[in-house]
Amino acid sequence: MDTQNCFHCGLDIIKKEEIVFDEKSFCCNGCKTVYEIFSENGLTSYYDFERMPGATPQEINGKYDFLDNDKIVAKLLDFEEDKTNIVSLYIPHIHCSSCIWILENLHKLQKGISTSQVNFHEKKVRIIFNSEETTLKEIVLMLCSIGYEPYISLENYESGKAKIDRSLTYKVGVAFFCFGNIMLLSFPEYFEVEEFWLNQYRGFFRWLIFALSLPSFFYSASGYYVSAYKSIRAKMFNIDIPIALGIIVMFIRSTIDIIFGYGQGFFDSLTALVFFMLLGKMFQQKTYNFLSFERDFKSYFPIAVTQINSKKEEVSVPVYDIKKGDRLLIRNQELIPVDGILISEECQIDYSFVTGEAIPIPKKSGDKIFAGGKQLGKVIEMEVLNSVSQSYLTQLWSNDVFQKKIDIKHKTITDAISRYFTPALLLIAFISFGYWIFIDTNTAFNVFTAILIVACPCALALTAPFTMGNILRIMGNQKFYLKNAVVIEQLAKVDMIVFDKTGTITTNKKSDIIFSGTGFSTKELSYVKNLLRGSNHPLSRRLYDFLPPFEIQNVDQFEEITGKGIQGFIDGNFIKIGSSSYVNYADEKAHHQTAVYISINGNYMGKYIFENQYRNGLEKLFKNLRKDYKVKILSGDNDGEREMLEKLLPKNTELVFNQRPEQKLHFIKNLQEKGHNIMMIGDGLNDAGALAQSNVGISISENVNVFSPACDGILDATEFSKISYFLNLSKKAILIIKRSFTLSLLYNVVGLAFAISGKLSPLVAAIIMPLSTVTIISFVTLSSNYYAKKLNTKNGKA
């Protein structure tokens, strides 16, 4: 029967049922309709990335009517605020670059969708949409109409328990059973025993061996066939193609041997091969899970939030210790770490980090507020609804908005090798088979199978992820938390480091504070304390902790002006706290000291002078950094401490003062335009723009919730002196990747040389292949652990 492939989905179409549209052939009206939808919306580029990438749309008649129920929809949504809704849908058909492209252009197909982002590894698409313009049901039906039906299981949302996949364990068990029994039945063949009763039952034993091989061949090895089929259909060649081909060739050849009485075949080698391959796969999977750098919430947010305990005291607690029912205090510009109920009278929430919309949303007491929102204005109290999960905040840090466009060299190399490895391997296998078939048929099949099995790009592909993953784990254990593995490569390229001063090279905890002025009454001092309560600036936090406790009072019209100060009304009194110019006070010493000025009802009351305490090990750290990097200090404060810093820091360290946040950003940009790779280290909140602009932005965390998604990493303040250690470790990570690439290539070259020459049996190849992966994993893990320990010791002595 004459058949050809459907232009959309690639399935065979019978000539009689062929539908021709726009000079293209389709297997059904569904595929034709999808093509029409894409054409009408200017999305035919979908077909440029992969040939025939689509799936045939399925009949759905009423299947998703349950999405008319608002209560069910509420459980499925990740985020629901005002008109903005966010949902994450699992789409099994995601398999290639065309899928990613079309799913990230859904806004062109459905009015109301603002953005859609694909997680290829998890086969999920995260969709942000306007609930007034479209509904979740309409989005799901649209996805079904273009062949991307989502899998929605309400049971998953009710229980939250993921099923454990034990299929690999079952396959290993079946493979071992078959392998063990076939080896036992093959002993007479191995020793060529010629006993009469054995000869009489030799044929029976051989067919029994054949029967025992079937579960191993059809069930245990099925994963390789499925993977190979999908790979071929997607016009991509993965390593499972040669493995599947090798197993099939061995099975066919062994079956022919038994049918024609040539011998018992290679069923013992075949089942051993499947068993050892699966065993290697299981070990690799367990090792990868152990070293996985898909870190938990603790790794992402090693910061504290302010909890109001049962005694009405404000205490800092780790964000992951928060429980349902806890009362939290959220200051101006702080991120809301969990979903909760607003207790305070009212507030304004900026959800731009979550939705991209920068318009603040007003909330009243009793309203639900979502994690990821930024609190604007006076301090608020909230009650926690759920304990901290990875929900929005972990996605937030990885959001495309905060990703920097960089070239990942090791990934490019890995992708190139993976793309050409399998076609080259198949070519070598067939050429070698063609050569040996004229010399020795038995050797020809052995060589063919051994070549297909021994060569393994897995070791090459795992080199970078395992190295980076282990380095992330090591850094995380030492309280340096990076957004992702790409940041390590960026750290290795850094040639200039820019430090903020206040809260970065100075500590919030150790400083003498002296008051100079007319003095305050007890009531006036309570006004100052209550106004400071809402601010997150390092000086505000220090002064707040320094002042004695007072009864909490309500602050009206609270406002914080970045780089200037804070203001608000308490009991009808107007209080301003900030720089001398902000409170309209002329002070000759303003440019020579770090101070906070205070006015009440327009009357200047006095100033608090801060004698800054610099972090321990600062002098030694800068001395180490100056060997390999250019170092600069960039501060929003005046130059009152220039003389002290010049004594403390190495000569020729550039000191730049009186910089507003936007000036800091332009300063970084100018350095980058001169060809420098910049690492900016700041306090995370006031330096957000500069952190985002720099090649690597690191936020210092000192028990304050000042997390900004713009940063690439969070460094615990106690580990500040280890910055040079972390930079050196990132360079060693790149060195380890290069060495392990070389080791992997060497293994493949040597293994193929032995296989081509006929000196390597398929069984030995099956044992060596997973061992090569284990070797590489061990090498990168031991190497990274070794350098981490060595550099740490060196850093301690430096």
| Residues in Cβ contact with 676 at an 8 Å cutoff, skipping those fewer than 6 apart | 495, 496, 630
Q: CA-CA distance, 50 to 62, in Å (whole number)?
A: 32
Three-class DSSP category at 659: coil
pLDDT of residue 219: 93
Q: Is 778 helix (H, G, I), strand (E, B) or coil?
A: helix
How far is it, in rounded angstroms, from Cα 553 to Cα 529?
A: 9
Whole-number pLDDT of residue 710:
65
Q: How would you label 741-763 residue by residue, b for 16+ Cβ within 10 Å and e otherwise?
A: bebbeebbeebbebbbebebbbb
Rounded CA separation 122/5 (Å): 29
Residues 539-557 have a mean pLDDT of: 85
Mean pLDDT, rounded, for 314-334: 81
560-580: per-residue pLDDT in tens?
887 788 999 999 999 999 888
Q: Determine the straight-line distance between the first and last CA of the chain, rounded to whole angstroms.
A: 79
User: Is it the case that residue 214 has pLDDT exceeding 90?
Assistant: yes
- List beta partners, residue 380: 330
What is the C-alpha separation between 139 and 583, in angstroms, rounded?
54
**pLDDT bucket at 292, cuts 50 / 70 / 90:** very low
Q: How buried is 312 (Cβ within 10 angstroms: 0-12 exposed, 13-18 middle, 19+ buried)? A: exposed
pLDDT for 597:
92
- pTM for the whole structure: 0.60
Q: What is the DSSP string of 544-574?
A: HHHSPP------EEEEEETTTEEEEEETTEE
CA distances from 400 to 153, 218, 624, 709 (A): 28, 43, 35, 11
Contacts of 83 (CB under 8 A, 6+ apart): 130, 131, 132
417 class by beta-carbon count within 10 Å (0-12 exposed, 13-18 middle, 19+ buried): middle
| Beta pairing partners, 480 | 715
**Residue predicted with more confidence, 705 or 137:** 137
How high is the pLDDT of residue 592?
Answer: 67
Question: In this predicted model, what pLDDT tens digit does every residue of 247-259 receive, in sequence order?
Answer: 888 788 788 878 8
**330 with 348: CB under 8 angstroms?**
no
Token code pair at residue 125? 């698409």
Q: Does pLDDT of 31 surpass 90? A: no
Give me the mean pLDDT over the 419-444 stretch: 84
Confidence of residue 766 (pLDDT cuts 50, 70, 90): low
- Whether 108 and 52 have beta carbons less than 8 Å apart is answered as no
pLDDT of residue 216: 92
Taking only the tens place, the pLDDT of each residue in 343-398 is 888 888 887 666 656 678 888 888 888 877 888 888 888 988 876 654 445 555 55
Give residue-wise pLDDT tens across range 486-506: 788 889 889 999 988 777 777
**pLDDT band of 83, cuts 50, 70, 90:** confident
Q: pLDDT over 90 for what percent of the chain? A: 7
The strand pair at 630-634 and 603-611 is best described as: unpaired
**Residue 13 clears pLDDT 60, i.e. is over it:** yes
Q: Say which range, 67-76, 525-534, 764-773, 775-784, has the weakest mean pLDDT.
A: 764-773
Backbone angles phi, psi at 353, to 5 degrees: -65, -30
Here the contacts of 35-38 (C-beta below 8 Å, separation 24 or greater) are 35/7, 35/8, 37/109, 37/145, 37/146, 38/102, 38/146
Alpha carbon 119 to its chain's center: 10
* Better-scored residue on pLDDT, 194 or 213: 213
SS3 call for 43: coil
The CA distance from 6 to 33, in Å, is 13
- pLDDT: is 27 or 44 the higher one? 27
Band of the pLDDT at 296, cuts 50, 70, 90?
very low
